[in-house]
Amino acid sequence: MLLRATLLCGLLCLCGQIYAGNTAVALHEAVQRGLVRAQIKGALPDTTYTGEYSSNYGPCLAMHLSNTSSGRIAINLKHGYVLVPDDTNVQNMMVTKDITFTLEANQYKRFRIFAMCVEASNAAPQEKSLFKLGKRAEGNLLAIAEYINRKNYQNRAAQQAVWCITDSKPLSAISCSDTAVMNDLRRYVASLLKIPVEQAMNPFSHHSSAQLHFRQVIFTGSIGYSLPSPKKVMIALFDEQNRMKVVYVNEMQRPGEYTYQYKINSSDLSGKKHYLRAYHDGVPVREITLNDTVRNSSQ
């Protein structure tokens, strides 16, 4: 009897060590075992994040996590897991950054999840969008998720790289102001898709000159503004449905005169009208309409 009690005590201690944060537990396993309750939703814009993001890439999802156990617990969510929305009109999302969530006994917390869309034709997540944790991606899709995670390419160029695999977007869609990142992503996607490297570096080589001209439309211009006092400045691109697609500036700025020079590829607009908006402390102060008839403007 004493031996049985000793063994039981040892087993409980071992389990307590495993689930007390010494070893992180995979999210799906923690949910299955009833160690945590998890809800994944679309997220409001992250005012504390200064990197590039939008409603369909970057820290665009929120994890609501409750520790239902009596001990401290660490939960991990690895890159490549697909998050499936309840609404079939909303995009499937894929985790693109490994993260570990740590909670004390019976604690509730909210965390941001870095993810990217794997269905370019569907709508981006909204705050009310709910997701379930699906299976981990395979093949080229898992490979690009691993590469994005390892390189920390949490930007629109990486999102376009995902769409090159899931939606057959051309390599030319992988575009950003950092040419080193752009070329690196193009080379890697070309290797996954077994496309010649020279096509990755010159993706228009197989198109006619007319096609080249059409695909290389660039919207350029500037937004000037004055700050009489320190303010949180955000400059972002919105579509016709008022969905935020890309955030270019998101930071506190000191008093002074500023000019933001924008350069937007037509591939970001998908042939539809878009709006470039500037906000000061959450208040809209400038708006520029972008469409196929207005390619250069300044305010």
Domain boundaries, the chain: 20-209, 217-298
pLDDT for residue 37 is more than 70: yes
Tell me what pLDDT residue 246 has: 80
pLDDT for residue 11 is more than 70: no
Q: What angle do CA 231, 233, 234 make, to 5 degrees?
A: 155
Question: 219 near 262, Cβ under 8 Å?
Answer: yes
83-92, 145-154, 238-247: least confident range? 238-247
Cα separation, 259 vs 129, in Å, equals 36
CATH topology of domain 217-298: Immunoglobulin-like (2.60.40)
Cα separation, 298 vs 190, in Å, equals 36
Q: CA quadruple 179, 247, 192, 147: dihedral positive or negative?
A: positive
110 Cβ neighbours under 8 A, 6+ residues apart = 62, 63, 64, 65
175-189, 204-218, 228-242, 282-296: least confident range? 204-218
Cβ atoms within 10 Å of 101's Cβ, excluding its own: 21
Q: What is the pLDDT of residues 154-176, one digit of tens each?
A: 998 999 999 999 998 888 888 88
Q: In which residue are the tokens 């080229």 written? A: 140
The mean per-residue pLDDT over the stretch 56-65 comes to 92
Could you tell me whether strands 25-26 and 73-77 are parallel, antiparallel, or unpaired per DSSP bridges? parallel
What is the enclosing helix (H) or strand (E) of 211?
helix 209-215
Task: Return the top range by mean pLDDT from 45-49, 200-204, 243-247.
Answer: 243-247
- Residue 166 is given by DSSP the state H
pLDDT for residue 295 is more than 80: no
Q: Which two tokens stand for residue 288?
A: 């520029």
218 Cβ neighbours under 8 A, 6+ residues apart = 263, 264, 265, 266, 295
Answer whether 0.75 is exceeded by the pTM: no
Q: Which two tokens stand for residue 252?
A: 């506190």
Q: Which two tokens stand for residue 227?
A: 């700050």
Q: CA quadruple 116, 119, 124, 130: dihedral positive or negative?
A: negative
Q: Which two tokens stand for residue 291?
A: 């469409």
Tell me what pLDDT residue 96 has: 98
Which tops the pLDDT comparison, 99 or 265?
A: 99
Could you tell me whether strands 130-136 and 73-77 are parallel, antiparallel, or unpaired per DSSP bridges? unpaired
Give bridge partners of residue 170 from the DSSP assignment.
Answer: none
Q: What pLDDT band is residue 206 in, cutting at 50, 70 and 90? A: very low
Residue 77 burial (C-beta neighbours within 10 Å; 0-12, 13-18, 19+): buried
Distance from the first to the final alpha carbon of the chain: 83
pLDDT for residue 191 is more than 70: yes
- Residue 124 is given by DSSP the state P
Cβ atoms within 10 Å of 107's Cβ, excluding its own: 12
